[in-house]
Amino acid sequence: MSSFLQDHPFAVSAYFESSLVLTYAVKKEELLKYIPECLEPDTLHDEYAFIAVAMVQTRSLRPKGFPGFLGNDFFLLGYRVFVKYHTNAGKRLRGLYILRSQTNKRKMQTMGNIFTHYNYSTIDVDWSIKNDQYKIHSDLGKLNIEVDLGNQSPSLPTGTPFTDWKEARRYAGPLPFTFTYNQPKKEVLIIEGVRENWKPRPVEVLKHEVGFIDELNLPGAILANAFIIENIPYYWKKGRKETWQPQENLSRV
C-alpha cells in the first residue's frame, strides 16, 4: 500500500510565487552513476550534462480540485539531473531525475514522503528580497545563494558552455516530466507537470554556495545558467507507470 501511495496517486496543484533555478554543467560521464539505467543524460553537444538546483516558494499546495484555502505554503528545494526517457511507444521525453529533495516544514516532509519517492528532508531556510537582491540561506543545507533581480541584461556565468541565453534556456527547468525508477520491477514512474505562461527570466548570480553540489564531488562542475519565474499556477498530473524496455539507441557512454 505504501508503494502505491508513493506513486503520485492523484494530481496536485500549487502556485509558484517564485522558482529560482541554478543549473551546473559537468562532463556527461560524471553524472551517469547518479541516474538509473532507464534514463540517459540530456546533453549539450553530447559532451555536457546538467544538474539543477531549484528553489521554489509554493503557495496553496494541495490535491488538484481542492479549494486553495485547504492548501499549504512551503519552500521546496530540489536537486535534479536533466535526462531523457524513451517510452515503449517510441516517444522521447525530456525531464528530470531527482537526487535530493528538501523543504522548510516537517509537514511537507511527512506528506511528501507518503505520496512521492522523492525522499524529502527538513532543513532551515531563510530567504529575503531587498533592493532587488534575492538571498536564500540554509545552515543545514549548506546553501548560500544571492542573485540580482534588477539587472535587465545579465551576462552568462563565466565559463558556461552555452553560447547565449537562448541556448541556455533549453536547460532552465523544470521540464515537463519527472521520472522515478523501480529497478527490481523495471518500472518507470512518469509524472507530468502542466504550467501556464511559463517565461523564465535570466538573472545574474552574485553568490552560489551549494553544499550538495560540493558533496557530489563532480570534477569541473561549473555554474552554467540561472533563471527565475514568478507568479505561475502549476499542477502535476497523476503518475503513470510503464515497464522499461531497453532501447538499442540508449546512449549512456
Q: What is the pTM of this model?
A: 0.93
* Residue 139 vs residues 69, 74, 234: alpha-carbon distances, Å: 31, 18, 29
Q: Determine the Cα–Cα distance for residues 253 and 241; give it in Å rounded to an integer.
A: 26
CB of 108 within 8 A of CB of 56? no
The domain total for the chain is 1
- Residue 41 included in any domain: yes
Q: What pLDDT tens digit does each residue of the chain (253 aa) get?
A: 457 778 888 888 899 999 999 999 999 999 999 999 999 999 999 999 999 999 999 999 988 888 787 789 999 999 999 999 999 999 999 999 999 999 999 999 998 888 898 899 999 999 999 999 999 999 999 999 999 999 999 999 999 999 999 999 999 876 889 999 999 999 999 999 988 778 899 999 999 999 999 999 999 999 999 999 999 998 899 999 999 998 765 555 5
- Residue 250 included in any domain: no
- Residue 243 included in any domain: no
- Residue 175 included in any domain: yes
Cα dihedral angle (210, 212, 75, 42), rounded to 10 degrees?
Answer: 100
- Residue 241 included in any domain: no
Residue-by-residue DSSP string for 145-175 = EEEESS-SSPPPPTT-S-SSHHHHHTTSS--
CB of 54 within 8 A of CB of 80? yes
The domain in which residue 99 lies consists of 2-234
Q: Determine the Cα–Cα distance for residues 123 and 27; give it in Å rounded to an integer.
A: 30
Q: What is the CATH number of the domain that holds 19?
A: 2.40.400.10
- Residue 253 included in any domain: no
CB of 75 within 8 A of CB of 127? yes
- Residue 239 included in any domain: no
Q: What pLDDT, on a 0 to 100 scale, did the predictor assign at position 5?
A: 77
Q: Is the dihedral of CA 236, 104, 67, 119 positive or negative?
A: positive
- Residue 196 included in any domain: yes
